[in-house]
Chain A
Amino acid sequence: MALPTKNSVPDALGAALGTDRVRAAAETDSVGGAAPSWVATVDGTEQVSAAMRVAAEHELRVVATGSGSKLDWGAPPREVDLLVDLSAADGIVEHAAGDLVVHAKAGTSLRRVQEQVAQSGQQLSIEHPLPNATLGGIVATGAAGPSRHLHGTVRDLLIGITVVRPDGVVTRAGGKVVKNVAGYDLGKLYSGSYGTLGVITETIFRLHPLAAERRWISVDADEPAMLDAVLRAFKRTQAMPTAVELDRTLDGRTTVCAQLEGRADATHERALTLSELVGGETGTNVDVHDDPPAWWGHYPHGTGDDIGLRLTVRPASIPGVISRASEAAQRSGVKLSLRGAAGVGVLDGGIPAGTDPDAVAELVSALRTVTAAPGENTVIVRAPRAVTATVDPWGPVPSGVLTLLKNTKAQFDPEHRLAPGRFVGGI
């Protein structure tokens, strides 16, 4: 039998999915500048499996997408032949309210899930800044918002997952119970894997009860010493803030804001008590608000062509890191704003679109020396090719770890057909 040629791809995809689900790619379908030839719109696990079998037969390189909100994240893939669009794989399979579990297809938007589960007084504890984002993309990028402080990130909330392998085989890991240690926790491995191990088609998450009342306590802390004192005060308290976020504007104004959640008509009192405590310890004015600040839960980089960074640091080093990062930005002539989860030590950085790529590269290199302690790092979340061509967006990885990463990729996707080059170490 002759090997299938690429000319026969549209026919094969059409035969597998229906011709109305296959189209030639347009310029707007490009992934970080890599232009696919075809787009297949799929409605769920079975169709993804069918599409992946065709892709395997024709040796196509595949990138999966949902709403496309983070398609430009990571390194640009080296090449893409087929874009598998899961935005039609949309729907909640089951919301087991009594079990606080939701099972939804990967193309379902987070917003839709939140609306559904809120009817039962529940939430999926991911406050993703891009609410149109789909569950599949959120898992693939390991995205998280302020509630990571208490509930962790996607990896901590995902309890079951369906993934189609590059050979089209449908596989499942985990299940629909929260407590489960049967087999390897592949959900964690897929979380943040940028679509390089398989195509995520269904997800099962644990849910949490929605709080009856929320309050926010904010403190200005422009100076490093004050910032240090404020962060320490929030850490010492037993008031159990459910999030502690920080915002540093371009002109160096820094605000720390903690969120309290609890029962109706009592959380405000708790917030006042905490504000007096923190105010007393730090000798500064602490305000209680009924609403979060405008920046709460948003990235410091917009959805346009802004450049996004992420700094992972030990929480106690945050004041020092912020000072040194600001100095480095000044030296490079780059406008850098920072925002993120001060309590757990993850800061997102935003740089305006159009900033000189060489200056950005210089800053990123400098930030990598600032975040050089074990476990710390700086990555470029999103940036134009002119930047990622100059500086590795993922940064260096120790050789022993890189070997394991590459072994893992080789086991799951031996032919490197899923988003090749998009991930760490050229994976």
Chain B
Amino acid sequence: MQSASPEAVAAPQIAGVVERCHEVLAPECVITDPQQRRTYECDGLASYKVVPALVVLPETTAQVRAVVTACADAGVPFVARGSGTGLSGGALPHAEGVLIVTSKMRSILDIDLANERAVVQPGVINLDVSKAVASDGYYFAPDPSSQQVCSVGGNVAENSGGAHCLKYGFTSNHILAVDVVTPDGELVELHAGTPGYDLLGAFVGSEGTLGVVTSITVRLLRKPETVQTLLAGFPSTDEAGGAVSAIISAGVTPAAIEMMDALSIEAAEQAVQCGYPHGAGAVLVIELDGPATEVEHTFAEVERHCGDHGAFEIRVAADDHERAMIWKGRKSAFAAVGRISPAYIVQDGVIPRTSLPEVLSRIARLSADSGVRVANVFHAGDGNLHPLVLFDDSEDGAEQRAEQVSGAILDLCIEQGGSITGEHGVGADKVRYMGRMFTDEDLDTMQRVRCAFDPRGLCNPGKLFPTPRLCGEVPGPRRGVHPLTEAGLADQF
């Protein structure tokens, strides 16, 4: 892991970048003070901390260009950061680099309902997009749990999902164009449907390694006529999993199906008193939306499947308030776990939905064998698990044991043909697992995209790939210390 002292800012390259930033940014937008810089030392994954050498807060595209150009000229690495809610350390700063924070780029630049799109700056908060068009009957579909605070720029970097991506897809399905400052300081517009390689498709979800986005055109969706939300209590996750399979097999595509197990229900109850069914070994939160007559009919079908699979209590939200209460338990689950455990690791593995029963029972066995408690909260409809691996960080070796269980869960996901991350990204946290999911050749091929955009590896180095590729080298096995590592431009994990 990286380590850094805040005083590392003395490097001469940084001094030059500071000077050039002062030429274009207001004084308060160039942060060199060690204590102030320290406030940016981590994102939502606080177990990784690096104090950046310099923090800048640009307000315009031109300013972002100037900062990136200064970095490129000086050979200084840079990392973009939105609201810092990411859960994989994707916005973890670089000790000798610049952190470009987009929190002053919070304008909605254009709302074009005739074309069902909006243009926003990268720092705009996800939920603010939907709020801005709500009275016109539109919304922005991607809804990560952090949507009240996370930025659209961060959503683009991570290709964020959310509870409703089961039906509506991910951020990448809702981005029509981005303006990008490339790692050499050029400004390019990437549009969907432009002749050429789908660079927009490659950019969304590239975790900030291909450039800094300065403007985003998002697709707006017409609000559904009806939304129906149901909460069902089951004796155990087996029955709840059976209900999920039955619903999907029946050809129903709910807007969301979320599952929580007994331990996560307990945590949520303690934290927000969500009043979930007493004694439930698992609950499902199921939401259907669309034309009223369709939803009504399908909802009855969903209720029947829940009943057939042992649901002992089914509650239907009568209004928006009751719907919010049902969602409150689910959305607070991560934070709530803090009430029952001093520390925890959030995992983000994905499995084919049909493997759910087997994987859950094997997670239970892992937990029993190791004595490490695991609370399960997940997007059941698309097999995206969020096991919360609990530990007491004051206890010797507890974190290591939790890490082992957490890693074993990811291995289980890979073994089932799934993925190590469904929506949180690889970032700094999962680089070490990439080699378990992909071959060296697969990773080398992906990095060719990186080389096309960022041959010098200055843009968010050390993330996503376990071993940076030296662009331009002859493909083949590498020996010795990587030149980029030697040059201090990238780190290996």
Binding site for B on A (CB under 8 A): 96-101, 121-122, 142, 152, 155-156, 163, 165, 167, 169-173, 175-186, 188-189, 191-193, 197, 208-210, 212, 232, 235-240, 262-263, 266, 269-270, 312, 314-316, 345-346, 374-375, 377, 379, 394-395, 397-398, 400-405, 407-412, 423-425
Contacts and interface: CB of A to CB of B under 8 A. Distances in A.
A185 B201 contact: yes
A121 B253 CA distance: 13
Interface in B250-305: 251-253, 290-291, 293-294, 297-298
Best-surrounded residue of A99, A239, A316 (most CB of chain B within 10 A):
A99
B177 A374 contact: yes
Interface in B218-245: 222-225, 245
Contacts of B317: none
Contacts of A411: 448-449, 451-452, 471
A179 B198 contact: no
Contact of B196 (A208, A314, A397): A397
Nearest to A189: B202
A156 B193 CA distance: 13
Contact of A197 (B165, B189, B197, B418): B197
Contacts of B354: 96, 98-99
A409 B196 CA distance: 10
Contacts of A397: 194-196
Interface stretch (B68-76, B180-188, B358-366): B180-188
A399 B192 CA distance: 17
Contact of A400 (B169, B182, B222, B443): B182
A398 B426 CA distance: 32
B352 A177 contact: yes
Given A152-B173, A186-B446, A188-B198, A177 B418 contact: yes
B334 interface: no
Contacts of B372: none
A294 to B, nearest CB: 27
A132 to B, nearest CB: 25
Contacts of B192: 375
B301 to A, nearest CB: 9
Interface residues of B, number: 92
A375 B417 contact: no
A80 B273 CA distance: 69
B189 A374 contact: yes
23 contacts: A99-B353, A155-B198, A169-B475, A171-B441, A177-B352, A177-B383, A179-B383, A179-B384, A180-B350, A183-B434, A183-B437, A183-B442, A186-B445, A189-B197, A192-B198, A212-B251, A237-B222, A270-B294, A316-B115, A375-B192, A397-B194, A408-B449, A424-B196
Given A238-B225, A263-B297, A401 B245 contact: no
A181 B422 contact: yes
Contacts of A192: 197-198
B43 interface: no
Contacts of A238: 137, 222-225, 291
A410 B199 CA distance: 15
B422 A266 contact: no
A144 to B, nearest CB: 10
Nearest to A412: B448
Contact of A179 (B170, B197, B434, B475): B170
Contacts of B352: 96, 98-99, 101, 176-177
Given A210-B251, A314-B115, 19 more contacts: A98-B245, A99-B383, A100-B248, A172-B438, A175-B437, A177-B350, A177-B382, A177-B383, A181-B422, A182-B437, A185-B202, A209-B251, A263-B298, A266-B297, A315-B114, A377-B193, A397-B196, A400-B182, A401-B188
A182 B194 contact: no
Interface of B: 112, 114-116, 137, 158-159, 161, 165, 169-170, 172-173, 176-177, 182, 186-199, 201-202, 204-206, 217, 222-225, 245, 248-249, 251-253, 290-291, 293-294, 297-298, 350-354, 379, 382-384, 417-426, 430, 434, 437-439, 441-446, 448-453, 455, 464, 471, 475
A186 B199 CA distance: 10
A284 to B, nearest CB: 20
Contacts of A121: 251
Given A184-B449, A185-B159, A167 B475 contact: yes
A377 to B, nearest CB: 6
A99 B353 CA distance: 6
Contacts of A191: 198, 201
Contact of B199 (A171, A263, A408): A408
Contacts of B419: 175, 177, 179-182
A356 B280 CA distance: 74
A316 B379 CA distance: 36
B347 to A, nearest CB: 13
Given A96-B352, A186-B446, A192-B197, A177 B114 contact: no
A175 B420 CA distance: 11
Nearest to B420: A182
Contacts of B444: 171
Contact of A405 (B197, B384, B446): B197
Closest 7 CB pairs of A and B: A188-B201, A209-B251, A375-B191, A411-B448, A407-B452, A316-B114, A238-B225
A380 B450 CA distance: 30
Nearest to A103: B417
Contacts of A412: 445, 448
Contacts of A208: 253
Contacts of B421: 180-182
A156 B173 contact: yes
A407 B199 CA distance: 11
Contact of A171 (B165, B297, B442): B442
Given A188-B172, A262-B291, A315 B115 contact: yes
A211 B189 CA distance: 38
A200 to B, nearest CB: 13
A238 to B, nearest CB: 4
Contacts of A209: 251-253
Contacts of A101: 352
Contacts of A142: 198
B188 A404 contact: yes
Given A181-B158, A185-B204, A186-B446, A407 B193 contact: no
Nearest to A407: B452
A204 to B, nearest CB: 10
A170 B441 contact: yes
Best-surrounded residue of B161, B251, B434, B471 (most CB of chain A within 10 A):
B251
Contacts of B251: 121-122, 209-210, 212
Contacts of B441: 169-171
Given A175-B418, A179-B170, A185-B202, A239 B291 contact: yes
Contacts of A345: 115
Contacts of B253: 208-209
A82 to B, nearest CB: 21
Contacts of B161: 179, 181
Best-surrounded residue of B158, B419, B446 (most CB of chain A within 10 A):
B419
Nearest to B201: A188
A174 to B, nearest CB: 9
Nearest to A423: B196
A179 B449 contact: no
B195 A177 contact: no
A42 B67 CA distance: 51
Contacts of B446: 173, 183-184, 186
Nearest to B475: A167
Contact of A183 (B199, B249, B291, B443): B443
A210 B250 CA distance: 10
B115 to A, nearest CB: 5
A175 B442 contact: no
Given A209-B253, A397-B195, A189 B449 contact: yes
A98 B248 contact: yes
Given A183-B426, A186-B445, A404 B452 contact: yes
A417 B477 CA distance: 23
